[in-house]
Amino acid sequence: MPADPATEESARPRGTLATRTLAMPADANPNGDIFGGWVLSQMDIAGGITAGARARGRVATVAVDAMVFHRPVYVGDVLCTYADIIRIGRTSIAIHIEAWALRGSFSDTLPHAHVKVTQGTFTLVAIDDNGRPRPVPPEE
Ligand SMILES: CC(C)(COP(=O)(O)OP(=O)(O)OC[C@H]1O[C@@H](n2cnc3c(N)ncnc32)[C@H](O)[C@@H]1OP(=O)(O)O)[C@@H](O)C(=O)NCCC(=O)NCCS
């Protein structure tokens, strides 16, 4: 079987750490695994933080593309999101976002793992006080 790039020893997250949070029982489905929608919302928060800082103000998510769920997330995983700005348009910012699960970090006995669970491209638009697009300001 070919090596899985997400779990290879050399695999590293792409981008800068944007959020870090604990997957709780309330975020799980009846099987005990974490809802995809919860993971997606953490990635959306990562996009909002990253784009908001770059746009220096309000932003809104306009599109989510190329979303892939590679692996399940479990209760007790620490979900870390990483963001890498890939394009800045006139009013929009496209960001590659990955979510990685840090597993077993609270245990002396369980194996520790850092697994890429999802990735996607989030596009956010800089908006003004009326919710209309505004130009992304030049980089400081
Ligand atoms: C975001 C919003 C203000 C954009 O308004 P709009 O009239 O569609 O704006 P425009 O058509 O001028 O597009 C604005 C930018 O978004 C980009 N864009 C629009 N639709 C896109 C799509 N599907 N994928 C990627 N980029 C897109 C445009 O290319 C443009 O980028 P540029 O200025 O860098 O070239 C409006 O669509 C909106 O309010 N959407 C709801 C946002 C929201 O509530 N998000 C949370 C989801 S619950």
Overall residue count recorded for the chain in this entry: 140
Residue 13 burial (C-beta neighbours within 10 Å; 0-12, 13-18, 19+): middle
- 2: helix, coil or strand? coil
Closest approach atom of ligand 1 to CA 61: 45
Q: Which residue's CA lies nearest to atom 20 of ligand 1?
A: 62
Cα–Cα nearest to 80, from 63, 65, 52, 99: 99
Long-range contacts of 102-111 (CB under 8 A, 24+ apart): 102/77, 102/78, 103/74, 103/76, 103/77, 105/78, 106/76
Cα–Cα nearest to 81, from 102, 106, 59, 104: 102
Q: Best substitution site from 44, 62, 86, 132 to test ligand 1's pocket, by max atoms within 8 Å of Cβ?
A: 62
- If you measure from the C-alpha of residue 62 to the centroid of ligand 1, how many angstroms do you get, rounded to a whole number? 5
Q: Which residue's CA lies nearest to atom 46 of ligand 1?
A: 61
CATH architecture under which domain 16-126 falls: Roll (3.10)
In tens, the pLDDT along 9-44 reads 458 999 999 999 999 999 999 999 999 999 999 999
Q: Which residue's CA lies nearest to atom 37 of ligand 1?
A: 62
Closest approach atom of ligand 1 to CA 65: 24
Residue 1: band (very low, low, confident or very high) from pLDDT cuts 50, 70, 90: very low
In tens, the pLDDT along 65-100 reads 999 999 999 999 999 999 999 999 999 999 999 999
Q: What does the H/E/C string look like for 38-95?
A: HHHHHHHHHHHHHHHHHHCCCEEEEEEEEEEECCCCECCCEEEEEEEEEEECCCEEEE
Rounded distance between C-alpha atoms, residue 140 and residue 33, angstroms: 42
- If you measure from the C-alpha of residue 118 to the centroid of ligand 1, how many angstroms do you get, rounded to a whole number? 23
Q: Where are the domains of the chain?
A: 16-126
